[in-house]
Structure 1
């Protein structure tokens, strides 16, 4: 089996990275940063997001497992004290593949530029480059509302515990293939009106955002920041692809939620 290791870059994570590499090579596993079967991330959820986007072209061949060197993450469930245990699992134990839904974002343009497609593990956010964001929101090809406000966040079930939660969105179990649309400070008065609640869309529903004004947009795809000009539409839907995690033991979602937000 071929493996790669992505480190957060701090001294603690880099030291663990080298230890894991040495251990796995002693088990005759092949270090391969180009075409790994499994990618071990050392750091936190942000490190895993970076690793995913680095290997997104191998989404159907590569699985991820994370070690957190800080606070407990939603993706990184192993701790540094368990490195030897994890190494033995990777070298000796067939692992279970757990797949989580992804968000597909397609940006289309007014000029002759080719459309751009992106995959997000957590979310996509859309904000105006100047003033309030004004967007027609279509669901399944029908106009649902004209949004006015600071911005919109479209999240995956995995990302429902991230920025989406801070916006008052619901926490959704990652076994449900869906996306969630949450508002950022919408303008609601006698003239302008939005739904004012997060929307959860199933796999077969598409959300289309169409600009009302010709302005630049700030779009994020997880940690990636994109400045977009001449945007015709932004299409969001559940992706056909999924992120693959290598599981060697149970990692209950609701237990993670409790430990992250409820337990002292």
Structure 2
């Protein structure tokens, strides 16, 4: 098997990476270009970087956390020896995590991006007016700071801080959540998150897109001459390797309730 490392730029992560590389040299081949397994050492941000770097490579991912708790990681930094033992001797399961497909449409062209966590559309200087369509049906005219569309994996990230629901991973669903919506007698939108299945398309049409920033996981883009944004889920997914049993509910409890 071929593997690659994605390492956060800190001393502990680098030291951990060196230990793993030395321990695996007699078992696997190190190949940064076309790995079968990508080992992320750092935090959830490091996982996102790894996923985007190897987006077009047929590989699996596993995470080792070297800081505070990471939701994507199966191993803490003090469990490196156990990880090495598991990866060289144990059978594993894979978990599919579905990605958003984001199509940014301009007058004469379009660009396609993918997100493991979420798309964030934000404008902090003035309220945005966004026409939200589900398929070809107008849902609402949203007024506020912005909108977030998240995957089940991303439902525990920014979406949760906005009051959105946590969704079990492995299901091709996406969630639309408001960011500081304006609600009074003149303007009103849904006021809650909306969960949609893989057959649906969210289309966002705005008057102020040229003054907006869009976040796609850890990537930030400034919108220029954009007519609309279309979001779907279920066509592309990432595979995470699981060497040890840790239920989703245990992950939620570990991350948000107690250790």
- The TM-score range, normalised by the shorter chain, is over 0.9
Distance between the aligned counterparts of 2:205 and 2:25, measured in 1? Answer: 51
Alignment of 1:69 onto 2:66: yes
- Give the conservation status (yes or no) of the 8 Å contact 1:129–1:216: no
Task: Tell me the alpha carbon deviations over residues 84-117 of structure 1, each in whole angstroms, 9 at most, x when there is no partner.
Answer: 221232223332221111111110012x2x3111
Query: CA RMSD of the aligned region, Å?
Result: 1.4
Q: What are the equivalent positions in structure 2 for 1:82-101 lying under 5 Å apart? A: 82-101=79-98
Q: In the alignment, which residue of structure 1 is the partner of 2:253? A: 258
- Give the conservation status (yes or no) of the 8 Å contact 1:40–1:66: yes
* Alpha carbons of structure 1 residues 136 and 15: separation in structure 2 relative to 1, 3 Å: same
Task: Tell me the alpha carbon deviations over residues 187-216 of structure 1, each in whole angstroms, 9 at most, x when there is no partner.
Answer: 112221101010011111111001134633
Q: TM-score scaled by structure 2?
A: 0.96
Task: Tell me the alpha carbon deviations over residues 134-154 of structure 1, each in whole angstroms, 9 at most, x when there is no partner.
Answer: 110000210111111000000
Q: TM-score scaled by structure 1?
A: 0.94
Identify unmatched segments of 5+ residues in structure 2.
none
**Could you tell me how far 1:239 is from its partner in structure 2?**
3.4
- Give the conservation status (yes or no) of the 8 Å contact 1:129–1:215: no
- Give the conservation status (yes or no) of the 8 Å contact 2:153–2:167: yes
Q: In the alignment, which residue of structure 1 is the partner of 2:142? A: 147
Distance between the aligned counterparts of 1:160 and 1:7, measured in 2? Answer: 25
Divergent runs of 4+, >6 A: none
- Give the conservation status (yes or no) of the 8 Å contact 2:105–2:228: yes
Identify which range, 12-21 or 69-78, moves more after superposition. Answer: 69-78
Q: In the alignment, which residue of structure 2 is the partner of 1:23? A: 23
Distance between the aligned counterparts of 1:89 and 1:64, measured in 2? Answer: 14
Alignment of 1:186 onto 2:181: yes
Identify unmatched segments of 5+ residues in structure 1.
none
Paired residues in the alignment total 259
Q: In the alignment, which residue of structure 1 is the partner of 2:193? A: 198
